[in-house]
A and B are shown apart, each in its own frame.
Chain A
């Protein structure tokens, strides 16, 4: 037996019954709605199994190993387990995993990909380790102004700024905002990571540093309202920044676009002709309970037929990119990787467009489409791209 570890949820980590409800979606139709369990089909990678391993480690029954850390860090924090768990501690399941990560960070024993992720954010303000100076290269249109006290700060995030595929979607969104005459500005290469994934990965110290830097910068610039491209940014600004003194009005863009369309400031593209299925991002859906607005948006477009995947809304299967997995890739390398399962599901609906509202989902699902050989059949598009008319199938 090794020594007991200091752990924030000492009083409840034992309460998991391993009943397995956490593996299922709301309608019980499949046992593989926990993305890590879907990938590995080993009990150790299920939500309940992970909690029992965390308890064994924290109690000193098991030693830390690289594999244990991988199991703990593979969780994408999608909250499917919290939806289904019947025990009254269910809204702390993800917190318990994050707390285990806090403990590992404190010990200095985390998997190398996670170490890299965090170091890169710390040194360069993004997980990719790319130069901070190049963060504004996604901006091609000189009409996208730097933020100088406009009504909204448009916060792009790391993926939108650096990932080539996500950059396209970020530009589409910026273009929509320009077309609608929204008063906004961006931070360009002054923007740094929002810290959502850093929080999920257990580095509280780094989150605090990022939050304080961001809040100071935003306040100095007079920011009151923020539109985010990514639901991950939305989540951390809305739910975590207040405790560091950040009290901004935060919107995900799917909350802004419908108003603009209703007010006639934004016109839907006229000649759409597509069958679309919408993938709920975890940080907009289960984390922040927003399922309807993106659907309303899509349904309101002429020429768009909206169809639902079997697992949708609260039951949506996570794309597998959360918890830094879009970078650390603990869930890749198999036809049972959640992103691949998800695109097969999307294809099964007969849709030719898989609509997303998150750059994380965008990159994960587009890669999966390629691996599945579905490029001719299924296009993955951000809602902003659909509205911007920049969809070619």
Chain B
């Protein structure tokens, strides 16, 4: 064994540091179509102190480091592009505090969404967080780092809009806190302190998030799912505008897919409704369907498929297994809601060309301020031809996102390049300066957001 391994083993203990091929191969692989990229070492720190020592060492020795949460981005963001030390954050998963009256929780960044969700359900049933659709192994830190969205995206926005504070370790090893926690008050607000949000949307290229203060929201006793349906995709932005105007729903998502047949060339909108009583929920439904959406129903262009369905949390992605192949990857974009129809049409066209059953979804963010629109391409991991098709479809889709008026969500290197090509030069310059200032030795997930 060599000095790097010894140094890591000294910090975390032999059990939690590895340079063995079995770990390197396992951690080299992303769940999507990206080719494997091997790290040289894998390390699993227990707490901020151990992590800080690792980062200081890496900075001194100029060894690249790559932080990994749940590994659910499907975009290959946590694959080491230049080797180095892969840092698995999932042992750092303590739930440190839940403040009921101010409705927030402070957790270590490696806490899984599943664990947080179970904890709140058991100990604070009146509170919930915005749970992403990713499997429960997705981490709080990783999800906000990619600006994820969850089941409170409507009405409350991105999960990264729900942060009251962060603790971060800089590439040079300093621990920084942002928000009211930085002046010794509780972790209840990020504003009005000077903005220092250089750590979200950066693919881990500017520092490692170690603690997150996440806003919690009222959790009502009853939560159900309704389903509305239109055939004409041009109607989707209108219906969503109507529903967000009423403001009685949670989590609005429009979806369409070639399989199963019932969803083909039709557009379902799933609508979450919650309330502390049946009366509250019925009131909300009356406003949404009997008043606002009645026009679609009565002229026959839209209809209620079902109401009061059970919600399965966390959701399982059956589309991963459409080709009995264990794989799918998607292009996520942040789009104006008005782009839905065109996004759908292009998605159908690209999918058909690549012999993939099309799957698209648009999830409302905020009050229809934007939507996360995703084109999902399934592949069979055992059949390289389908992997290649999916890859091509993904690249084609990446290429068209900006042309459709949006921007790529959680881009990997390919998508980052496209975004940077389109970026306003002064902004790009500032990004570059910031990155160099924070990471002078270029160790933080190098290869990401690198200005040419």
Contacts and interface: CB of A to CB of B under 8 A. Distances in A.
Q: Do A and B come from one complex?
A: yes
B123 to A, nearest CB: 11
Contact of B16 (A15, A27, A41, A68): A41
A68 B18 CA distance: 13
A374 interface: no
B381 A14 contact: yes
Interface stretch (B219-227, B294-302, B312-320, B342-350): B312-320
A52 B22 CA distance: 10
B115 A53 contact: no
B136 A20 contact: yes
Nearest to A15: B326
B115 A19 contact: no
Interface in A353-377: none
A31 B327 contact: no
Contact of B42 (A42, A65, A67): A42
Contacts of A27: 118, 121-122
A86 interface: yes
A28 B95 CA distance: 14
A21 B137 contact: yes
Question: Counting chain A CB atoms within 10 Å of each CB, which of B16, B44, B135 scores highest?
Answer: B135
Interface in B47-100: 70-72, 88, 90-91, 93
B324 interface: yes
A42 B68 CA distance: 12
Contact of A14 (B71, B90, B112, B326): B326
Given A15-B321, A27-B118, A42 B18 contact: yes
Contact of A16 (B90, B93, B326): B326
B112 A42 contact: no
Contacts of B320: 17, 19, 87
B388 interface: no
Nearest to B122: A29
Interface residues of B, number: 45
Contact of B382 (A14, A23, A67, A71): A14
Nearest to B383: A14
* Prevailing SS type, chain A contact patch: loop
B326 A65 contact: no
Interface in B279-327: 314, 316-318, 320-321, 324-327
A272 B381 CA distance: 58
A376 B237 CA distance: 67
A112 interface: no
Contacts of B18: 42
Contacts of A67: 20-22
A15 B114 CA distance: 23
A88 B137 CA distance: 19
B319 to A, nearest CB: 11
Interface stretch (B25-33, B161-169, B413-421, B434-442): B25-33
A190 interface: no
A256 to B, nearest CB: 37
A41 B90 contact: yes
Contacts of B327: 17
A68 B72 CA distance: 25
Given A42-B23, A86-B316, A31 B93 contact: yes
A42 B380 contact: no
Question: Counting chain A CB atoms within 10 Å of each CB, which of B22, B29, B316 scores highest?
Answer: B22
Nearest to A31: B112
Contacts of A44: 22-23, 26
B198 interface: no
B53 to A, nearest CB: 18
Contacts of B71: 18, 20, 43
Nearest to A336: B15
A19 B91 contact: no
A52 B119 contact: no
A19 B113 CA distance: 13
B317 A19 contact: yes
Nearest to B116: A28
A2 interface: no
A320 to B, nearest CB: 15
Interface in A1-39: 14-21, 23-24, 27-31
Contacts of A164: none
A56 interface: yes
B172 interface: no
A312 to B, nearest CB: 14
A281 interface: no
B311 to A, nearest CB: 15
A287 interface: no
A29 B70 CA distance: 16
A62 B135 CA distance: 28
Interface in B98-125: 112, 114-115, 117-119, 121-122
A30 B88 contact: no
Contacts of B135: 19-21
Contacts of A86: 316-318
A28 B70 contact: no
Contact of B22 (A18, A65, A88): A65
Given A17-B320, A30-B115, A23 B137 contact: yes
A157 interface: no
Contacts of B317: 17, 19, 86
Contacts of A40: 15
A52 B327 CA distance: 13
Nearest to A85: B316
A23 B71 CA distance: 14
A60 to B, nearest CB: 13
Interface of B: 15-16, 18, 20-23, 25-27, 29, 31, 42, 44, 70-72, 88, 90-91, 93, 112, 114-115, 117-119, 121-122, 135-137, 314, 316-318, 320-321, 324-327, 380-382
26 contacts: A14-B380, A15-B326, A17-B320, A17-B326, A18-B31, A19-B31, A19-B72, A19-B320, A21-B135, A23-B137, A24-B136, A24-B137, A27-B118, A27-B122, A29-B114, A29-B118, A31-B90, A31-B112, A41-B44, A43-B23, A44-B23, A61-B25, A62-B22, A67-B22, A87-B320, A334-B15
Top 8 A-B pairs, shortest CB-CB distance: A20-B137, A28-B114, A15-B326, A86-B316, A29-B118, A14-B382, A14-B381, A19-B135
